[in-house]
Amino acid sequence: MDTPDTTTPASAPTQGAEPRTSYLEEKAFKARTLLVFGTITDTLAADVARRLIALDAESAEPIDMLVSSPGGHLESGDTIHDLVRFITAPVNMIGTGWVGSAATHLYLAAPRERRFCLPNTRFLIHQPSGGAGGPASDIAIQAREMVKARERIARTIARQTGKPLEVVLADIERDHWLSAEEAVDYGLVSRIIENKAALKG
């Protein structure tokens, strides 16, 4: 007689994984904390938007948003940027790991006094990039849109840091990396912090 196979298939979900995830989600919600980690996509932007709206409806207390992202889709970053400014509850931006490109743009949605970073954070500012293809007329349209996006990003950086627009335009012509200390000097960050208690310092 064949012996029944009692092994668990490799594809079978681990029992308890979903309750654990729900527990962590609940704890993060109660702590009014959001994570923006990884590449910025429309899916991530939609998830962050839902959480921002829910937390804003729950209370007008500050929301802590931790950002560690190389950037990604510019317009998805725009969505998060605009919603941070749209809701009533203030948002503390906390950079960690690295904050680059479109992630820097959404990070700048908070006023300077609410922009923090952990000691080992690196920042990257540069002009938007993208591939152009198709007929020559379409390539020309895409090129014009890239120039508009570059100027818009530069204006945001200039407004939020106090740097002259001409300086910012020159700085983002190529990849411009900044350490945590350099980001403070540039005006991207108000303070470098090492623990949560320092947010209230």
Q: Are 95 and 68 in contact (CB under 8 A)?
A: yes
| Distances from the Cα of 172 to the Cα of 37, 53, 93, angstroms | 23, 32, 22
Active site residue 105: no
Instruction: Find the catalytic residue in 73, 81, 126, 176.
Output: 126
Q: Are 162 and 184 in contact (CB under 8 A)?
A: no
DSSP secondary structure letters along 25-76: HHHHHHTTEEEEESSB-HHHHHHHHHHHHHHHHH-SS-EEEEEEE--B-HHH
**Which tokens belong to 10?**
């490799």
Catalytic residues: 126
